[in-house]
Structure 1
Amino acid sequence: MPAHPSRPWKEVVADKLTADRAKIPEHWRLSADVIAAAKTRKQIAGDFVEGLLDSETRHVTSADAPDLVAAIANGSLTAVQVVTAYCKRAAFAHQLSNLLLEIGFDTALARANELDDYFKTNNKLIGPLHGLPVTLKDQFHVKSLETSMGFVGWIGTFEGKKGTGKEKKLESQVIRELWSLGAIPIGKAPETNNNILGYTWNPYNQRLSSGGSSGGEGVMQALRGSAFGLGTDIGGSVSMPASFQGLFSIKPSSGRISFRDVANTGPGQQVMPTTVGIMSRSVGTLKLVFKSLLTTEPWLRDPNTLPIPWRVEKEYDAEKEHDYKPAFGFMANDGVVTPHPPISRALGIVKRALEESGYQLIDWVPPSNNESAQIHGPIARGDGCPDAYEAIQLSGEPIVPEIDNVFPGGKLRQPMPLPEYEQVVLHMKDFRNRYNDYWMSSAQNTHTGRPVEAVISPVTPYAGILPGKFQYSPYTSSLNVLDLPSVVIPVTFADKAVDKLDPNYAPLTEKDRVNMALYDAEAHDGAPAAVQLFGRRWDDERVLSMAQLIADALEKYNRKHGGQP
């Protein structure tokens, strides 16, 4: 049973925030006037935050991760320069948007000095991520930093327990791998809404949500507070924040990246595992980080990680394979909910960009997302989420509105009976089989004679959401049910002058009618609009290659058309 709170939860939070503020160097602290000005602005990403920075910080943090590694390798930058610039920018981002539950600037700079000494002595990098600062959703254990996951009752403990000897000492396996590769953790970001830091708003439109649940990391990447970020995903929790913040991301198939020693709710649920996802500003960075992690052979230390190294034969090289044009599936909608106008426009831009580059797109009408919705919820929350409930009860903090439905009336729900749960799992297995059969049958409609290489679809129906107005997640949660890898690709921004509801729009379903009624062109104006690309299970390398192909086609299209229909 949860312990009786020994102190009022607000006192615990106040002490935590005071301790965190003290970790920001005085010369990196923003004035009250700047912070107040930020709160009055619609957008703080881009020009506003850039205008607060000195030229060196802007220069370093504007570079993509592979270019930073190359600059350190040729001696034009040091790890200390890179880490200093990103720590400063992360400090600014935190003060503007409340983005860091844990701050590790001092240990990060100490590690950067070690890497510079190594480079001077050995004239080589310690690994392919040498000197790259990384921020993380606060589920990953990092030595010297706490892990609270946003639970007030976890502050000062190890996952809610005291006296374990693991506090600030245990490290998640993926963190150990990142250290060995040369990456440097500088801080940890919150869930989108929590009682420690409050609500995390979208920096492109501060009336809108950053998306859940890795929203804090999404905003950190949008404000360029680190070279790349890690989140976790069981229903779109990496993909949705990436799409709302105009980022690239990958949700890999389960078993590719180690989840060992990562804090989580529902840790015993392994039928549909939570996966580690990566967010960044380019496909190239996603590939660099994912490929580098696999070089550490994580399966040797984590029996739940598959012994699958990076597979070159799964990659696609447009220059080498210029005679082969892969075919794509294209899902304008899933037959249940129509995307809002900005997302439909983004999908149209991608479709035209690929067609102009000579790629075939075929309509994608797989087994219904109505089925995936019937599967996802019972598997993810079939136990009633008692561990999350107990973590909340530890401090007496209130339940945040986003999970009110999980604990109706503030009470714990009864778990699903095991026989019913097993029936849902059987439904999932059957759904996966039928979906795979449909995928293979697509070979009948492609000019290649092969099944489609990947499928383009909405990430969500939304270009950003107003808090409390999120209604439909199966575009992403279906991919967790199916365990398919997906990459988010930013395309454009919502434009109230362009993205108007089609006067001929007719709802596909009642869900569609309710969802489309939420669209407000004025409220969503300026929010990023993205698509996702998903592939077959454990075909992560090819999905990344296909995503780069789409990014290249979009760049070519935008040069020609300016991104317009």
Structure 2
Amino acid sequence: MARNYWLLPTDVLTRAENTPKLVGDFIESLLDPETREITALDPVDILARVREGTYTAVKVTTAFCKRAPYAHQLNNNVLEFIFEAALEQAKELDQYLEQHNETAGPLHGLPVSMKNQFHVNSVNTSMGYVGWINKERPVESLLVKELKSLGAIPIAKTTCVQTLFFGETNNNILGYTKNPFNQALSTGGSSGGEGAFQALRGSGIGFGTDIGGSVIMPSAFAGLYSLKPSHGRISYKDVANSVPGQPVIPSVIGIMAISLPSLRLMFKSLQSTKPWLDDPEVINFSSRLETEPNSIALEGSDKVSFGLYENDGMVVPHPPIQRALRIVQKALDLKGYKFVTWDPPSHREAATMHSFFLRADGNADVFEQINLSGEPFIPEIQAQFGEKPKPPALLLDFYKQYLHLKECREKYQAYWNSTATKSSTGLPVDAVILPASPHAGVIPGKYYHYLYSNFPNVLDYTTMVIPVTNANKTIDIFDKDYKPLNDVDKKNWLAYDPEKYNGAPASFQLLGRRLDEEKLISLATIIVEALEEYKKQDGWENV
């Protein structure tokens, strides 16, 4: 495949710079019919067509190897392409299918991508640091090995924010990554490159990492489905990270997908590899491997209830997010599901504890990586790091904060249990519906409140993102009479501009308890089906 095959003409790139929306018609118009047809399919359908012989793995991989560089040239979202190895792996998979008359695994022939924290053989891992470029990495991440064993084909490693400690995506290697739904907005961070890449259909399914919302935020801003599991479900073995020795609030790997069925298939497939055999930090949940994913959905509305958390009492979401929550509530209400108003212990302390543990080393790790090249901090994070590391936390203070964290987790669990007295089922609520962030995307430099995606990581709870609608400047008007709750709420509210946010995905977050991944996927099925049915009604958006 000649290099010129991948390059976009200068006039197309110029038009892209002046086009607000890159997803959908803009990128689709650049593709030949076959590439457009293949890459537009849901991953579940792609896999079915490879199994039945309609497509070969080489044909599918070739199609994504054309769309992927288009997505990058339009949006600045990939740090490493893996095309040669991908096409070679696809040929081997085709040979396997021909020789054995069966696929090599449930993901046979599916191109995948991942944030540039994952090590892939013979491919650079920079994690957004200049000093990591061309640095030897003698290992391959266990997740990558699992994906290959399942038949998935890695084709790209996507960009991330320098240090990973920010909710927008920028680094000194590629620069800033915008939101392909609306280029006036950010794609979020730190897995923002993967979010944008998935929105543009650069691969079938993607992976990011999350310790404070780094999968939650980009997925919500890109209109994707995502699963941020609890620690111990997806292996983090041999994955690069910031502050890798920090164990109290662990970073986790999240799945980012265009559909719930494809997300469900990916999670179940990864579990089938029994990662606990190779990674002692992964919990052995072999008993769940045969769990019926829709078992909860089959129980009916009299057996399921939801918590509803419209805002956290500190920052009220913008109008598009408020409307998205109303749409979800209306859709579920029409199906007979009941809600409990969620009034948990304040999340305010979560921000303090999160910052303490992630910076307990005084930012020594971050400065060590920065000093490898002498590169500057990107402007967005310069103020939070300063000119040099700070003194690390004292051990006794670390112990004290850890005990406080345990107490906060116990209080939250006790509150969740207490909702049985308010629930229509006589049991604690099954999951909580809440914002993923205060806004649909974010205007660069105006992300003031991270707690909606921060506190699930402090609790180590499972959470999913589900897209609902898009911001609409004629419906989601600015309320001039709104009375802010505090100074941060005021800054957030004044940052809302209906024109700038128009068209951005408006999503919500579904919160489950720790290690409740299978249950949460099943509950998400209920919600998605209810939304699909509700959206058949005229005027469904105007709630």
> Fold-level match, TM-score > 0.5?
yes
Whether contact under 8 Å (2:268, 2:289) holds in the other structure is no
How far the C-alpha of 1:427 sits from its partner, in A, is 1.5
Deviations 1:449-504 (A, max 9, x none): 11111000000001111111111011111000000010000111111111123355
**2:477 aligned to which of 472, 497, 500:** 500
The equivalent of 2:225 in structure 1 is: 248
Deviations 1:369-401 (A, max 9, x none): 112112111112221221221111111211012
The equivalent of 1:176 in structure 2 is: 145
**2:410 aligned to which of 415, 433, 443:** 433
Whether contact under 8 Å (1:258, 1:305) holds in the other structure is yes
Equivalent residues in 2 for 1:318-333 (5 A)?
A: 320-322=298-300, 324-333=302-311
Deviations 1:509-538 (A, max 9, x none): 332222212212222111111000010110
Whether contact under 8 Å (2:301, 2:337) holds in the other structure is no
Alignment partner of 1:72 is 2:44: no
The equivalent of 2:323 in structure 1 is: 345
Q: 3-state DSSP class of the match of 1:339?
A: coil
Instruction: Quote the Cα distance in structure 2 between the aligned partners of 1:314 and 1:370.
Output: 37
Alignment partner of 1:190 is 2:159: yes
Alignment partner of 1:513 is 2:517: no
Q: 3-state DSSP class of the match of 1:279?
A: strand
Distance of aligned partners of 1:121 and 1:324 in 2 relative to their CA distance in 1, 3 Å threshold:
farther
Instruction: Quote the Cα distance in structure 1 between the aligned partners of 2:212 and 2:300.
Output: 36
Alignment partner of 1:486 is 2:466: no
**1:305 aligned to which of 269, 282, 290:** 282
**2:377 aligned to which of 399, 410, 429:** 399
**1:543 aligned to which of 494, 516, 520:** 520
Runs of 5+ unmatched residues, structure 2: 161-168
Whether contact under 8 Å (2:43, 2:262) holds in the other structure is yes
The equivalent of 1:8 in structure 2 is: none
Whether contact under 8 Å (2:478, 2:497) holds in the other structure is no
Q: 3-state DSSP class of the match of 2:128?
A: coil
Instruction: Quote the Cα distance in structure 2 between the aligned partners of 1:250 and 1:533.
Output: 10
Q: 3-state DSSP class of the match of 1:52?
A: coil
How far the C-alpha of 1:406 sits from its partner, in A, is 3.1
Instruction: Quote the Cα distance in structure 1 between the aligned partners of 2:506 and 2:363.
Output: 32
Opposite residue 199 of structure 2, the aligned amino acid is A
**2:101 aligned to which of 115, 119, 123:** 123
Opposite residue 28 of structure 2, the aligned amino acid is E
**1:238 aligned to which of 215, 223, 231:** 215
Alignment partner of 1:61 is 2:30: no
**1:525 aligned to which of 485, 493, 502:** 502
Distance of aligned partners of 1:456 and 1:314 in 2 relative to their CA distance in 1, 3 Å threshold:
farther
Whether contact under 8 Å (1:230, 1:277) holds in the other structure is yes
Deviations 1:113-154 (A, max 9, x none): 100000001111111111110111000000020100011111
TM-score normalized by the length of structure 2: 0.96
The equivalent of 1:156 in structure 2 is: 134
Instruction: Quote the Cα distance in structure 1 between the aligned partners of 2:253 and 2:3.
Output: 31
How far the C-alpha of 1:314 sits from its partner, in A, is 7.5
TM-score normalized by the length of structure 1: 0.92
Opposite residue 37 of structure 1, the aligned amino acid is R
Whether contact under 8 Å (1:336, 1:369) holds in the other structure is no
Deviations 1:340-384 (A, max 9, x none): 111111111111111011111111010111121121111122212
How far the C-alpha of 1:25 sits from its partner, in A, is 2.1
The equivalent of 1:6 in structure 2 is: none
Alignment partner of 1:266 is 2:243: yes
**2:10 aligned to which of 32, 36, 40:** 32
Q: 3-state DSSP class of the match of 1:266?
A: coil
Whether contact under 8 Å (2:80, 2:156) holds in the other structure is yes
Aligned-residue CA RMSD in angstroms?
1.5
Deviations 1:35-87 (A, max 9, x none): 11100111111110000011111111111111111111111111111111111
How far the C-alpha of 1:313 sits from its partner, in A, is 4.8
How far the C-alpha of 1:266 sits from its partner, in A, is 0.6
The equivalent of 2:332 in structure 1 is: 354
How far the C-alpha of 1:323 sits from its partner, in A, is 6.6
How far the C-alpha of 1:412 sits from its partner, in A, is 1.8
Alignment partner of 1:378 is 2:385: no
Instruction: Quote the Cα distance in structure 1 between the aligned partners of 2:541 and 2:442.
Output: 23
Instruction: Quote the Cα distance in structure 2 between the aligned partners of 1:41 and 1:24.
Output: 28
Count of aligned positions:
533
Whether contact under 8 Å (1:311, 1:541) holds in the other structure is no
Whether contact under 8 Å (1:212, 1:241) holds in the other structure is yes
Opposite residue 508 of structure 2, the aligned amino acid is V
Instruction: Quote the Cα distance in structure 2 between the aligned partners of 1:508 and 1:252.
Output: 32
Runs of 5+ unmatched residues, structure 1: 1-22, 159-166
Instruction: Quote the Cα distance in structure 1 between the aligned partners of 2:520 and 2:80.
Output: 33
The equivalent of 1:112 in structure 2 is: 90
Alignment partner of 1:98 is 2:67: no
